């Protein structure tokens, strides 16, 4: 996987989120989930999913930088309670602000990916529970692949809401 491949997928994910925006906005005001955590019983509405996407872009950019800066394999993936608190805070933002945060995160990650050499993509990190991964694998799976999953999740939520 090349940086061009990763950037193309990131751009496609961002375009898919933008395409859903009118339908998400048509659902305003969305309820705020009562069960908001990472358990199977939790239920997230579109703003909560978007808040998660806004958070994950910056978080994984930080992990990429950690892997590139440290000895291989750099350790990452420790539990971070502030992560859920940030999603909780952002899920209450107006949709325009949420989309703005995502746009900024996509731009930051896009710029970082464009600066990487082939050797950088092969650098290794080790997630505390999932094991070793390369920068390319991390971005493809934990960022672009994950955003694509959330695009499908939002589509399902919109259908369920009749939007």
The pLDDT tens digits along the chain (163 residues) read 899 999 999 999 999 999 999 999 999 999 988 887 777 778 899 999 999 999 999 999 999 999 999 898 999 888 888 888 888 899 999 999 999 999 999 999 999 999 999 999 999 999 998 899 999 999 999 999 999 999 999 999 999 999 8
Helices within the chain (DSSP H only): 3-26, 46-69, 81-90, 95-114, 118-121, 135-138, 145-160
The DSSP 8-state label assigned to residue 163 in this structure reads: -
* pLDDT, position 81: 81
> What CA–CA distance (Å, rounded) separates 106 from 116?
16
* pLDDT, position 26: 95
* pLDDT, position 35: 81
* pLDDT, position 34: 86
* pLDDT, position 45: 94
* pLDDT, position 95: 96
For the whole model, what pTM was predicted? 0.94
Q: Which domains does the chain have, with CATH numbers?
A: 3-30+40-160 (1.20.120.450)
> What CA–CA distance (Å, rounded) separates 30 from 11?
26
């Amino acid at each position: 996987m090349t940086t061009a491949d990763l950037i193309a997928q990131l751009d496609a994910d961002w375009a898919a989120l933008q395409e859903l925006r009118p339908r998400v906005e048509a659902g305003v005001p969305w309820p705020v989930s009562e069960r908001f955590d990472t358990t199977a019983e939790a239920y997230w509405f579109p703003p909560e999913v978007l808040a998660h996407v806004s958070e994950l872009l910056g978080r994984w950019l930080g992990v990429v930088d950690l892997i590139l800066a440290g000895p291989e394999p750099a350790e990452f993936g420790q539990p971070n309670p502030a992560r859920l608190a940030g999603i909780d805070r952002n899920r209450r933002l107006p949709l325009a602000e949420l989309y703005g945060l995502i746009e900024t995160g996509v731009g930051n990650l896009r710029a970082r990916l464009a600066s990487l050499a082939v050797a950088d993509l092969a650098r290794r990190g080790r997630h505390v529970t999932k094991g070793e991964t390369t920068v390319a694998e991390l971005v493809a799976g934990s960022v672009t692949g994950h955003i694509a999953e959330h695009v499908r999740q939002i589509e399902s939520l919109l259908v369920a809401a009749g939007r």
